[in-house]
Structure 1
Amino acid sequence: MSLFHFLRNRSSFNPFVVSVTLSFVLLVIGIALLIPQQAETVLNAAKTGIFKNFSWFYILAFSAFFFFLLALSVSSFGNIKLGSNEEEPEFSFWSWLAMLFAAGMGVGLMFFGVAEPLTHYLSPITEGGSGARQQDALLHTLFHWGVHAWSVYAAMALALAYFAFRYKLPLSLRSCFYPLLKEKIDGKAGDIIDILALVATLFGIITTLGFGAAQLGAGLAQIGWISENTFSVQTIVIFAVMGLAVASAASGIGKGVKMLSEMNLTLAFVLMVFVLATGPTLHLLSAFNDNLGTYLSNLVQLSFKTYSYEQNHTEWFGGWTILYWAWWCSWAPFVGLFIARISRGRTIREFIFGVLAVPSLFCVIWFTIFGDTAIWINDHTAAGALGELTGTPEKLLFRFLEYLPLPTLTGLVSLMVIALFFITSADSGIYVLNNIASRDKSVAAPRWQAVMWGLLMSAAAIVLLRFGGLPTLQTMTLIVALPFALLMLIMCFSLWRGLNADHKYFTTAVTPSSVYWSGDNWQDRLERMLNQTQEQDILKFLKTTALPAMRELGEELSDKYSLSVDIQTHFDREEPAVEFTIHKESLRDFMYGIKTIKREVSEQLIKDGHLPHIRHNVTYEPYTYFFDGRSGYDVQYMNRRELIADILKQYERYLNLLTDVGQELMSHQQTELAE
């Protein structure tokens, strides 16, 4: 049995998606094993090329995600629910915020909480005295971990949740492109989208595995359980953690994982409070306000900063900001799917506020407490000893804890937090990979698939660590995330198209002709509804229905009420029309017109076999227009009496406006016309 047939018959996989993905990953592993030096040369060249040619694209893309979400939150689209209009949120607001808080935690915060602010503090990117450099260090750290990172997750999660819960499509990435691809999302176009997402997610998780293994090994060495953090130790750590994650994913012990996650969050929060209490507490409390204000006031400038005028900082820019942006892109399907699953029933405005504000605020708190404390200890207690370890960031957290009380206990707690984050992230990652790779997203994956993903990620992480270390993992993430970032921009456009269609659908009112209709002659109306009107049909309507109605009403108004009525026809115009005007001496005339407008018909509707009455690529409608420039409406289904009633309804509105400001407005407009 071929691999393709095995995947189709013995798994939940989409054979094409998984075959291409496996081939790519195995090719990368094979090249790294067989020709490591040449592979490293190629990867370095690719990294240099991306830094030189596409840094601007990453910056612009992330800013586009952020401002796109802000625009949605303040627009009328913000009122749309992620689900039906009557649907209530699955979780209470505070429970939902707590889960977003959990999503904001991870191995990355443990790895970089101390290392990144201290590294920036000692790098050329910061200038001035100690205070100014410390402020700049925290500013750059918060920029990397703040709303821009969460904008990528929020954009992905919003598209997934919207199309899954509002359009009732499968909870998968290909569904996010439905407004652009329609049914093609079930074909090869959808497969290509899944392949890009699968490859990006794989290398994002593999990079995280590398960071976690390096830090766990460093922690074990720091507390004396092993003599040295070697590659062999990191290999054992990866297999041990991935084994637990695979066992968890294959057994489906969801409650156990939930309990571990809650315990992990508690331990992380306790560790953070401990550092706050035993560190320079007053300094940290003041620094939090300062860091938050500095971050918010520099947000727009940093959003578009590419260091094109500061060439001496471009290496730092590529090695930090651009690598982070690539990492966040690769994690977007993973984190986005989790956020989407817990956000059903929220409005888009509530969703954007919660996903951007809550985790970002927690990151400000976390990095203020760990980062500012590390810089303070380095300058006041450690005599620069912490700064000497920035080249080995996996060691920094544990060395940092040695300068605080109870270092052995806090080191063990940190090890437990990192290990649990490691396990739960890998477990969730396996679920997401199965989801992206599956034919039917609603079918549970066989257990052996969890083992396959675990072995694949472990093997890739170990090989890439062995032949290049963490920089190689980061380079692979940088390369595969570039096309995925472009895909996400297209996804945002698709989401905007979907929201526009949604808004138009739910705000379109019933046509005025339905207001007057009593149900008489319903067969005639149905026949007209199911026949695509052309220009000659509208001309016939104007001559046999609209014009006689206007003449009948005009005779009544002029003979009985002595009003000056004028009826004009414009059948020779590009848009044939008839106009009914009541003249006023001191006010602007009342005018009710009906003109012929042409509308394009979608080719997809013409080809749809379920709509046999749609045969032409254009259709025509008799549309009203008024003396005051208001938007009109279609009146093609009105008969003569209904049309008279509609003219009188508009005339009654006109008469009601003759009082107060309405009279002043119409008098002013009449004066302007006379001039």
Structure 2
Amino acid sequence: MHNSRVLLAASVGLCAVIGIWGVADPASLLTVAQRIVDQYFTSRGWFVMLSVTIMLLFCLGLTFTRFGDIRLGADTDRPDYSTPTWIAMLFAAGMGVGLLFWAVAEPLTHYHFAQEALPVPIAAEQALLAANFNWGIHAWAIYGTTALTIAYFSFRRGTPMLVSAPVKNLFPDEAWANAVGWISDFMAIVAIAIGVAGSIAMGVFQVADGITVLTGGTSATPLLVGVVFFLIVAAYIPPLLVDLGSGMAKLSNIAMAIAIALVAYTVILGPSEYLLNSIVGGIGKYIAEVIPRGLQTFTFYGSETSKWFRDWTLTYMVWWIAWGPFVGVFVARISRGRTIREFVLGVLVAPTVFSTVWFGAFGGVGLYEAIDGQGQLLAMTQTNVERMTFALLDRLPLSGLTTLATIAAAFLFIVTSVVSAAFVLGMFSTGGNPDPSVKVKLVWGGLLGILGAAMILSGSVQAMKQLIALGALPFVFITVLLLTCLVRALMLDGAKEPAHADR
């Protein structure tokens, strides 16, 4: 209990310091963040890419071994949720508002960069590949490794759903085990808090710009951004006062249904043949290059390409690592009763397929307009990325309705993410308490709001990404440690008895 109180005080204190610093002097915080992140990415970028690729190969490899038959739980347990509901829940938790924000902006930003050096068709193909890679199976391998480790130890060995629980098993000395476990939970808390705060800021920017589009404005004013921010905080505080029930899952499923409807709407009412070709071609290119791309560090491509690689791919990989403990606990909680094989295929494959369809549709419209149209969306990548999804929808019928639906989905994704994150942070910071007090959840809800405000005041999406990377850097090593814990546990348990799903 003493260690739990120290952990709560230390993690709340550090997050409060970072949040207040970001609100009081965002420029200096950003300068420090950029210096640390740039140095780390320059010297350890290879380690990040190698680590996430090993996680991917390990997870996929498990499905071909006898360990894939092991159930996450007792051998007689069966899943609590149907497979479609389970996939929708884990996808909403793992991606959420980010996909809405970057649907058009990211592929076109990559295309804007690539067209300076490559022929148009290759530049477009590489732009779509880059977006699919950044949001694809490597991200879900990070989530899957973290979630699978936590689920295995929790459901098979009865440990608390904490990052520290598997880590402690690596150290026979109790003092070392407790020290490394404490540090692991502390790093996980900081990574979650700063990562979720970035999503708050991203969602605020998008909702504010969507409202501006609906009201005929040119750009979101600081006043409107502030109003949207306070509305979001006001929306997520009341759910923190009650138990984390099925309401959050229902809201996530509504947001996910809106996202699916937006994809179908875009493909049907947009240049359908072009978009279907874009989706199929994008999937093929991604499958062909996904593993080699995971080990690509762009060493020999010059400073501009190296900077692009750091600003996008490396930042994304670290961003997913920041979300790893949060999404990991959530996915672990809803996966009891599934075999490791079912878990890996569901967590890695299904969301990746949806992401490639998503970028193939929205990115395809953007590339179509950039190559065969007037290029207004392409120009917007340099001035207002927050508006690009809405600008695309404005080119299709019923734009008012779809803009409103996008705003609603973004709002729901933010609220459900923050409520779930405050719950997980409360659980982590109180030694694994499965029902953290309302007071603790409110403290974390307030701190997430302060950190979100610091992200907003940083002044740009790129600055926000730097701050998220800063918070996640220490946790990169913990994810590798978690993978080691899982491998060791499977080897030890597998040596005792054969692995079977049904006995």
**TM-score (structure 1 length as normaliser):** 0.70
Percent same amino acid among aligned pairs? 30
Contact 1:65 1:155 in 2 (8 A): yes
Contact 1:175 1:185 in 2 (8 A): no
Partner residue in 2 for 1:431 = 423
Q: Take 2:252 and 2:26, find their aligned partners in 1: how far apart are those partners?
A: 38
Q: Take 1:315 and 1:359, find their aligned partners in 2: how far apart are those partners?
A: 28
Contact 2:72 2:151 in 1 (8 A): yes
Partner residue in 1 for 2:403 = 411
SS at match of 2:376: coil
Q: Indicate whether 1:301 and 2:292 are aligned.
A: yes
Which AA in structure 1 matches 2:404? L
Note the C-alpha offset of 1:499. Answer: 0.6
- Alpha-carbon deviations, 1:590-633, whole Å to 9, x = none? xxxxxxxxxxxxxxxxxxxxxxxxxxxxxxxxxxxxxxxxxxxx
Which AA in structure 2 matches 1:395? R
Partner residue in 1 for 2:201 = 210
- Alpha-carbon deviations, 1:255-295, whole Å to 9, x = none? 33333222222222211111111111112222222111110
Note the C-alpha offset of 1:24. Answer: 1.6
Contact 2:20 2:454 in 1 (8 A): no
Q: How many equivalent residue pairs? A: 496
Q: Please state which structure has a larger fraction of its residues in strand.
A: 1
Moved more, 127-136 or 192-201: 127-136
User: Which of residues 249, 253, 257 in structure 2 aligns to 1:266?
Assistant: 257
The correspondence of residues 560-599 of structure 1 with structure 2, limited to 5 A, is none
> 1:309–1:277: structure 2 CA closer, same or farther, 3 Å change rule?
same
Note the C-alpha offset of 1:147. Answer: 0.5
Partner residue in 1 for 2:239 = 248
Partner residue in 2 for 1:541 = none
Note the C-alpha offset of 1:228. Answer: 4.2
Partner residue in 1 for 2:145 = 155
Contact 1:163 1:169 in 2 (8 A): yes
The correspondence of residues 243-642 of structure 1 with structure 2, limited to 5 A, is 243-252=234-243, 254-311=245-302, 312-381=304-373, 383-391=374-382, 392-442=384-434, 444-507=435-498
Contact 1:83 1:344 in 2 (8 A): yes
> 1:467–1:127: structure 2 CA closer, same or farther, 3 Å change rule?
closer
Q: Take 1:153 and 1:184, find their aligned partners in 2: how far apart are those partners?
A: 29
SS at match of 2:338: coil
Q: Indicate whether 1:86 and 2:76 are aligned.
A: yes
Which AA in structure 1 matches 2:426? N
Which has the larger Rg?
A: 1
Contact 2:195 2:471 in 1 (8 A): no
Note the C-alpha offset of 1:447. Answer: 1.5
Q: Take 2:330 and 2:27, find their aligned partners in 1: how far apart are those partners?
A: 39
4+ long deviations beyond 6 Å: none
Note the C-alpha offset of 1:62. Answer: 1.0
Note the C-alpha offset of 1:126. Answer: 7.4
Contact 1:126 1:136 in 2 (8 A): no
Which AA in structure 2 matches 1:347? T
SS at match of 1:252: coil
The correspondence of residues 652-663 of structure 1 with structure 2, limited to 5 A, is none
Note the C-alpha offset of 1:53. Answer: 1.2
> 1:365–1:202: structure 2 CA closer, same or farther, 3 Å change rule?
same
> 1:372–1:127: structure 2 CA closer, same or farther, 3 Å change rule?
farther
Greater RCO (CA < 8 Å, at least 6 residues apart): 2
Partner residue in 2 for 1:552 = none
Q: Which runs of 5+ in 2 are unaligned?
A: none
> 1:127–1:104: structure 2 CA closer, same or farther, 3 Å change rule?
farther
Partner residue in 2 for 1:224 = 215
Contact 1:198 1:436 in 2 (8 A): yes
Partner residue in 2 for 1:64 = 54
Note the C-alpha offset of 1:34. Answer: 5.4
Contact 2:52 2:142 in 1 (8 A): yes
Note the C-alpha offset of 1:471. Answer: 3.1
Q: Take 1:24 and 1:450, find their aligned partners in 2: how far apart are those partners?
A: 17
Q: What is the aligned-residue RMSD (CA, Å)?
A: 2.2
Q: Please state which structure has a larger fraction of its residues in helix.
A: 2
Q: Take 2:80 and 2:171, find their aligned partners in 1: how far apart are those partners?
A: 30
Which AA in structure 2 matches 1:151? A
Note the C-alpha offset of 1:467. Answer: 4.1
Q: Take 1:159 and 1:125, find their aligned partners in 2: how far apart are those partners?
A: 42
Q: Which runs of 5+ in 1 are unaligned?
A: 1-6, 509-675
Contact 1:79 1:348 in 2 (8 A): yes
> 1:22–1:104: structure 2 CA closer, same or farther, 3 Å change rule?
closer
- Alpha-carbon deviations, 1:178-215, whole Å to 9, x = none? 43136569833322111000000001001111111111
Partner residue in 1 for 2:33 = 43
**TM-score (structure 2 length as normaliser):** 0.93
Contact 2:89 2:249 in 1 (8 A): no
Note the C-alpha offset of 1:372. Answer: 0.3
Note the C-alpha offset of 1:346. Answer: 1.5
